Amino acid sequence: MVRFPKAKLGKAKRTAELSETWIYGEKYATTDIKATIEIRSGAEYSKKFFEDATWPVLQRQTAEVGRAIADLETERILAFYDSVSAGDLAGGAVFNGSGSLDWAGVVGFWNRVKAENFNAKVLAINPNQAADLWQDDKFIHSFYFGEQVDVARGVLGQSYLGMKIVVSTKVTDGTVYAIDTDVAAAMLLRRDILAEPFENPRDDRYGVVASERIGLGVLRSKGVARGTGW
């Protein structure tokens, strides 16, 4: 378990005209997060398969189980953001759309988080919403590719609103997330992805097993804006 302290800002109070200003100092609340989520994946094959393969079997299977773990990890993270109740989101409600995502919608998500005195760092969208944005001149004209751009992986770079645009089929079509990743939530990594080969010559079974152990928890839910129907 890790305990995260969350500061509540101090307040200044004027006691009387031309007199001292007293400051009521910061107070702290805490959030405890436990690493209770274990994700495992494995691949198994026979010695004959290993001998007949024309590629490095162990290397290929190790990469695949790692990808499968990352795939499920992403699903768990998105489900975690979906579990935040509407009233606890930035703006106090889900930001619903009624059609294609456009530049005004992007600004709307940014504004919801900004109005809570946070700064959205990531806008996560489905490829269909990305296709909508690439047909919007306002979005295109406002967009500048940064050093972190990797279109093949779905990282479009960063707009001048300060949000990195990320695209994934793991995001439900029509759903959009704007997240201040500095404050919204935390993911503990108790066990980094660990891959271990195994051999069982008696049963002619060989392969690799990988696992990780993580924890997820909300720190400041107002750092998240979520919307559907875009």
Distance from the Cα of residue 166 to its chain's centroid: 10
Helix H segments across the chain?
47-52, 57-82, 103-114, 127-133, 137-141
Distance CA 33, CA 64 (A): 29
Tokens of 214: 């993580």
For 89-100, give one letter per residue: b (16+ CB within 10 A) or e. bbbeebbebeee
Counting other chains too, the contacts that 142-147 makes at CB distance below 8 Å and 24 or more residues apart are 142/103
pLDDT band at 104 (very low <50, low <70, confident <90, very high): very high
Phi, psi values for residue 170, rounded to 5°: -70, -25
Tokens of 68: 């499968």
Element holding 210 (H helix, E strand): strand 205-218
Which pLDDT score, from 0 to 100, does residue 32 have? 94
Residue 51 CB burial class (10 angstroms; 0-12, 13-18, ≥19): exposed
Rounded to two decimals, the pTM is 0.83
Distance CA 113, CA 21 (A): 31
Q: What is the arithmetic mean of pLDDT over 202-208?
A: 94
* 129-161 residue pLDDT tens: 999 998 988 887 766 555 556 666 777 767 778
5-14, 53-62, 141-150: least confidently modelled range: 141-150
Length of the chain, in residues: 230
User: Mean pLDDT score of the chain, rounded to an integer?
Assistant: 89
Region for 89 from its dihedrals, namely left if φ exceeds 0, alpha if ψ lies in -120 to 50, beta otherwise? beta
